Structure 1
């Protein structure tokens, strides 16, 4: 049994002082507060729960920064997607594993303990299935095992190019499944993920563009207790196309035609009206916000204040992995609200500071979206922990919520000291234990892909 001593500890009941955490078999076996450290305790200034990254496309970490040149026409999500297709069409299984491992190292160093991998790169470059239908998913699992990040694998069902079951185009050839092949893929993913500690498999109909109504129903039924994730209402063009197809906005159509409940995560939901905001909140679903990617792609701004007022839940994800940063996602979420409303401190939760409110919403929503219920610091909870340093300029002299505020809004990095996943330390002194080895493989893969 390992014992951690924290001068300050953020528990499910709030901040406590002088605490000892006894870790056993990946969980917090015992929690003592207002006690002195003992010989052999590993001492830390501050420990908080680690966050879950609810939405990632790991392979896109390799193309970060490669789509920042504007062409002659207006540049938007759809032109960015062409760059993504070109990159995806080249990637081998070895390269995917190397790029995913690099992304996961960066996530762990940033303060994430679990990732929801929205994985749709299924087939070989010529569109033929691999001999193992889950060859590429297996590389995601291998990257998670190698780096120690907890994994909720979300194999994606993708069948069409647009609303009305339009046939897929040739650039989508590596993504495509039918219902039978997707069921086989799902079964194989569960076999692979069963080898991971606390591994979870969900389902992911890619979007209303990529599935027809019958397929959406069948995919959501496939694993009745598992999480269901879907991209929705990310772009205005998507909203217009959905209205032309169905007469309804995307979120409204989904709420009216699918059993959306607490299993569901609606990723982005950027363009929603007041009726849709209240509908999502009432359903119990989590909205998956990815502020850095949404800003990078020019998606728009989700109305988070109205959503929270209606009782909604959200978590955050790194999506395209253009920049992997807990503080980056949370600060931009708040700053985008300030810019659009011309006021300060928009996200609120009780008496908490803004940074603490953002952190607690992201903690709760992320874990719920990834079906990881034992979250937070309490006896019996998973030992997914982050120690924060209070000796960098941003955190000197701070305590409690003020440290979270300074980490999220005032730091340039260097605040995360150590990170544990299932009680195993993966990051120490801000560096992942496998950083150099993973970066060597990543360098080789990217050199090949960019040649």
Structure 2
């Protein structure tokens, strides 16, 4: 049995002092507060839950920074997507695994403990299925297992290029499945070492109504994630096809409930927001990617006024950071609202409010706990008390300092299922994984 001792721990019941955590079998066997340390205890200053990253495309970490050159016409999500397609067509399974492992190391070092991998790079470069239809998904699972990151694997169903069942484009050939081949892929994914396997109809553009309902039915009680209403053109095209806005159409035609994570949902109206909250679905916000792509800003105060739920994700992985996502989430709201401390619960600190919302939303969307309590998975993070941002800070002020005032990472250690995978701010396999990543990127970018 391993025992940790911390001066401050953010438990499921709030901040507690002088805490001993005994870990056994990957879980918190006992949690004692207001007790002295004992000989042999591993000591830390601050421990908080590891945050869930509810939306990632790991392979896109390899193209970070490659789409920052202006074209002859106005750039948008759609021009960025062309760059992404070209990059995706070059990657083999070994290269995918190396890039995913690098992304997952960075997530752990940033304080994320679990990822929702929205995985759609399924097939060979010519679109043919690998002998093992789950070959690429297996590489994602291997990267998570190697790094120790908790994985909610979300194999994506992708069949069409636009609304109404339009034929897929040639550049999408590695993504495409029929319902039959997707069922085989899903069954294969369920054999992989992933803590949770959900389903992911890519978007309303990429599925018909019958396909959407069939994929949702395959989920049973597992998570269901979908991209929706990310771009204004998507909204316009959906209205032209159905007469309804994307989220409105989804709420009227699919069994949306607590299992669902609506990724982005950037362009929604008041009625749609109320419907999301009523369905108890999670909105998956990816502030850094949404800013990078010029998507827009989700009207978060309206969702919170209805008691809605949200979490955060790193999406394109152009920059991976807990503080980066949470601070930009708040700052984008401040810019649109022209106010301060927008994400809040009463007079609670903004950092604490954002962290609480994101922990709960991430846990719901990924099938994890997101809480430090007896019996829970031993997935948590220690913060570096010597970091300048944390000087003379305590309790919620520590979270405010981490999210809004830290230059560089304040994460000191990370434990996943009781195993310490980050120490002194560095992943235990950082150098080996980074060396492999460098070799792969040299090949892909040559």
Alignment TM class, shorter chain as reference: over 0.9
Per-residue displacement from partner, 1:110-152 (whole Å, max 9, x unpaired)?
0001000000000000110000000000000110111010100
How far apart in 1 are the matches of 2:101 and 2:266? 29
How far apart in 2 are the matches of 1:414 and 1:191? 35
How far apart in 1 are the matches of 2:20 and 2:347? 26
Contact 1:117–1:152 (Cα < 8 Å) also in 2 = yes
Aligned length: 446
How far apart in 1 are the matches of 2:173 and 2:373? 46
Runs of 5+ unmatched residues, structure 1: none
2:358 is aligned to 362
Contact 1:390–1:403 (Cα < 8 Å) also in 2 = no
Q: How does 1:48-447 map onto structure 2 within 5 Å?
A: 48-193=48-193, 196=194, 199-372=195-368, 374-447=369-442
Deviation at 1:78, TM superposition (A): 0.2
Deviation at 1:371, TM superposition (A): 1.4
How far apart in 2 are the matches of 1:378 and 1:33? 11
Contact 2:118–2:200 (Cα < 8 Å) also in 1 = yes
How far apart in 2 are the matches of 1:213 and 1:148? 37
How far apart in 2 are the matches of 1:97 and 1:159? 24
Runs of 5+ unmatched residues, structure 2: none
Q: 1:137 is paired with a residue of what secondary structure?
A: helix
Deviation at 1:223, TM superposition (A): 2.3
Contact 2:52–2:370 (Cα < 8 Å) also in 1 = no
Deviation at 1:414, TM superposition (A): 3.0
1:34 is aligned to 34
TM-score normalised over the length of structure 2: 0.99
Contact 1:101–1:144 (Cα < 8 Å) also in 2 = yes
Deviation at 1:341, TM superposition (A): 1.0
Deviation at 1:322, TM superposition (A): 0.2
Deviation at 1:192, TM superposition (A): 1.2
Deviation at 1:181, TM superposition (A): 0.1
Per-residue displacement from partner, 1:2-56 (whole Å, max 9, x unpaired)?
1110001111111111010011111111010001111000000000000010000
2:444 is aligned to 449
Q: 1:192 is paired with a residue of what secondary structure?
A: coil
How far apart in 2 are the matches of 1:116 and 1:94? 21
How far apart in 1 are the matches of 2:350 and 2:199? 33
Contact 1:419–1:425 (Cα < 8 Å) also in 2 = yes
Q: 1:287 is paired with a residue of what secondary structure?
A: strand
Per-residue displacement from partner, 1:167-186 (whole Å, max 9, x unpaired)?
00000000000000000000
Contact 1:390–1:397 (Cα < 8 Å) also in 2 = no
Per-residue displacement from partner, 1:276-303 (whole Å, max 9, x unpaired)?
0000000010000000000000000001
Aligned-pair Cα RMSD in Å? 0.7
Contact 1:420–1:427 (Cα < 8 Å) also in 2 = yes
Contact 1:122–1:175 (Cα < 8 Å) also in 2 = yes
Contact 2:19–2:35 (Cα < 8 Å) also in 1 = yes
Contact 2:4–2:44 (Cα < 8 Å) also in 1 = yes
